[in-house]
Structure 1
């Protein structure tokens, strides 16, 4: 019994370690990517949507829903730490503590949602599985629509259309049959509706 408990703790520790390392690396890559991608495309390097992809798959590695949500949240917090830590200690660029706090809180919320989504996609079947696929696809469709409908983002329309297309491509990749893909597309609808509301709230606290 004790041996099983020790093995369980070791696995949880390894999972958490992987999550934080992935997060730190993605956060640092975000800073570096902003200087590599040309023009408006560098917005993809600084996109919360892109950050949620590894969080989703980290959630898929979790053996329980609770671990999946915690692991995804840890990875996203690692991304925040990697991004702002590299900017401050390597590039010597100061950042507001307010924004660090806002994005840390968003990391916890995003980790819970997308960690659960990744776990449902990886470990469930039927409707819950397709709901997980619809969550990731809907994420990109939401950001694409947000860019295309935002008055100040007219110069980024190519990025918006690309993200819109990527959202549908994710459904093609994550599902293996056309009936499942159509059901996942249906699952995207509430994701997009709630996502647009979420963008409105996020703009309110960061503007």
Structure 2
């Protein structure tokens, strides 16, 4: 009796575990990029309509990091997809902001922030995707995202406190702390929790230093 099984050989099954079909992945990336473009445009409007206490949401790195991380967390299936989605989302946010700002009569050159998005977007994307992974990866991912939030919150309170409301900066610090606590409850292991705390501190400090250096970067361009 001849077998009619059409199951792929074991080697094929092993390979398939590491790849996502091109079309679904491309559709997910395209959808997230489109949503990010719309959110970037909404950011421009937000600068005019948000209350003073929350106005910094429309003019902050965390204001774009949070939706990007959420979109990647919900959509990406593999690290390469998460990295690509993060980069494209950040660039789309910048371009969307530039398009709507120009339409409103406030021209904005997206080149510098687009480059920043290409560099930092993959980091945010992979960090968001890592929240779904094993404890050590999840710890690092949570530390990166929490570090960005806490770092920018501290930067806002210390460096731009005279021109912005402290409400938003405290809010992102609290949100970063909540992420750390929530992940610590999930991990329930000393080593990953310690790694998460270390990563949070390093990223927060690096964020502050990077933003302090940005004026020099803009001046050189």
Matched pairs, number: 197
Range with greater deviation from structure 2 (160-169 or 73-82) = 160-169
Q: Report how far residue 57 of structure 1 moved.
A: 2.9
State the distance in 2 between where 1:43 and 1:82 align: 18
Q: Is 1:101 aligned to 2:115, yes or no?
A: no
Q: Report how far residue 58 of structure 1 moved.
A: 3.4
Residue in 2 aligned with 1:154? 162
8 Å contact 2:90–2:118 — kept in the other structure?
Answer: yes
For the pair shown, the structure with the greater C-alpha radius of gyration is 2
Residue by residue, what CA displacement relative to the aligned partner does 1:41-66 show, whole Å, maximum 9, x if unpaired? 21112211110112223333322211
TM-score of the superposition, structure 2-length normalised?
A: 0.79
Residue in 1 aligned with 2:212? 200
CA RMSD in angstroms, aligned pairs only: 2.4
Q: Is 1:83 aligned to 2:97, yes or no?
A: yes
TM-score of the superposition, structure 1-length normalised?
A: 0.84
Report the CA distance shift for 1:92/1:101 in structure 2 as closer, same or farther (over 3 A): same
Is the helix fraction higher in 1 or 2?
A: 1
Residue in 2 aligned with 1:66? 80
What does 1:125-204 align with in structure 2 at a 5 Å threshold? 125-150=134-159, 152-155=160-163, 156-174=165-183, 176-177=185-186, 179=188, 182-183=193-194, 184-204=196-216
| Gap runs ≥5 in structure 1 | none
| Gap runs ≥5 in structure 2 | 1-7, 9-15
Q: Report how far residue 72 of structure 1 moved.
A: 0.9
Q: Report how far residue 110 of structure 1 moved.
A: 1.7
